[in-house]
Amino acid sequence: MTDMLCMWVARRHMRGIVRHVPIAAHALRRYCVDFAISPRQRELCAETVRFARQELGGRTDESDRSGSLDTEGWRKAAEFGALGWPVPREHGGSGFDPLTSALAFEALGYGCSNNGLLFAINNHVWACAIYLVKHGTERQKARWLPELCRGAVVGAHALTEPQAGSDMLALAATAHRDGSGWVLNGTKTFISNGSCADLFVTFARTSESEGPERALSAFLVPADAPGVRVTRELEKAGLRGAPMGEIQFSDVRLDADQLLGREGAGYQIFTSTIEWERGFLFASGVGTMRRLLETCVEHAAKREQFDRPIGSFQAVSHTLADMRIRLELAQLTLYKFGWLKREGRLAMLESSILKLVVSEGLLETALEAVQLHGARGYLTEGGIEREVRDALAGTIYGGTSQIQRSIIASLLGLPGAP
């Protein structure tokens, strides 16, 4: 079907009917998107939903109250393979292509109610393991990826500092040369999985003479290295099942093989990998949107007021319709992004659009879910209010909504856009 569409566009172009479509074959392919779900992908999604419903989420309330990682759920997710879905088989993973990984993480988010555990898993995969997959040496991959896939090592991404968040070029942490290695110093904060992590993908300044974009480098820093210390565990409003911490690096000695990529390539490594994090980190959020919609539809069909189900009132039914529209847009954006990455294409624009659509759509859906459930939605025992607290963070982590809009504006070529 895709090839037939491309041929149709080409014929129309030659006849002057579709003049705005480029005639080059590679350009035609961008208009021929085929991300139909295969039978095997459908089976994987069904298996994932069954697993998540049966094995995950049982300790959601406890994890939320204590602000701790559900280690039992983490172990089960690792045994199921979720911690290594996009990691090549030769390094201990499942070797799923990007679109299949997106579908699997969406199913995981649909089946599991513990959003904190979901975020800890996604952060581990898309903000740590994927950096090794894309930029690690064979020796680094062999050392760390099997352990990350087994869940024996918890991964974290140590970028943000007290005075440097969205502006990564302002990082103050330093790694200065010492023989064939480096000595790392600095403070990282708001680090997801930080207080329970075993491995940090860490960024630091390695030059004061190079330009800003060549002054940073990336390192693999074990949490048990001398000089690494968790100085604070940070209490959060939501996603409490994914612990957050502040990390201090004091004269941490790093060997040459702990450099990720080449020296001075930290900024390029981050910018080339962040689209994976921004895009796929929100796949589970799409599943959560579906779960919330179905919960609200069921409630609206059963809850009666004025001798009729509240779903029969237009104000309620239109709210549910808006939830469904947001879900459809989120799914289509996710699947397109997954398809683009499967095809080996850059997708910086699409990753920013996806993050906005899902994070803001999920928050709006969660807020409307509270409203539809009334007082019951505001009680902690129902779990709906927790969905709002968990959704709030999505518009912040991975780059705020404002940053995403600035990226989109800059890619439009607007004069003066950042």
Per-residue pLDDT at 37: 86
User: Which helix H or strand E contains 200, and what residues bound it?
Assistant: strand 199-205
Residue 413 pLDDT level (bands cut at 50, 70, 90): confident
- C-alpha of 340 from chain center: 16
CA distance 182 to 372: 56
Q: Write out the two tokens for 29.
A: 């392919």
Residue written as token pair 């990564």: 168
Residue 121 pLDDT level (bands cut at 50, 70, 90): very high
Q: What does the pLDDT average to over 280-288?
A: 96
Task: Give the active site residue among 161, 246, 277, 350.
Answer: 277
What is each CA distance from 160 to 80, 154, 211, 251, 301, in whole angstroms?
A: 31, 18, 20, 19, 45
Per-residue pLDDT at 211: 87
Give per-residue pLDDT as tens, 86-113. 999 999 999 999 999 999 999 999 999 9
Handedness of CA 407, 411, 412, 414 (dihedral sign): positive
Is 325 in the same domain as 390?
yes
Better-scored residue on pLDDT, 245 or 1? 245
Per-residue pLDDT at 33: 63
Is 55 in the same domain as 92?
yes
Per-residue pLDDT at 181: 94
249 DSSP β-pair partners = 186, 228
Q: What does the pLDDT average to over 162-179?
A: 92
Tell me if residue 79 is catalytic.
no
Per-residue pLDDT at 35: 66
Q: Is residue 202 a part of any domain in this protein? A: yes
What CATH number is given to the structural domain containing 208? 2.40.110.10
pTM: 0.89
Give per-residue pLDDT as tens, 222-252. 999 999 999 999 999 999 999 999 999 999 9
Residue 11 scores a pLDDT above 80? no
Number of domains in the chain: 3
Is 380 in the same domain as 311?
yes
Residue 338 scores a pLDDT above 50? yes
Is 342 in the same domain as 387?
yes
Is 173 in the same domain as 261?
yes
Which of 238, 266, 294 is the last residue in one of the domains?
266
What CATH number is given to the structural domain containing 376? 1.20.140.10
Domain that holds residue 248: 157-266
On average, the pLDDT of the chain sits at 91
Residue 212 pLDDT level (bands cut at 50, 70, 90): confident
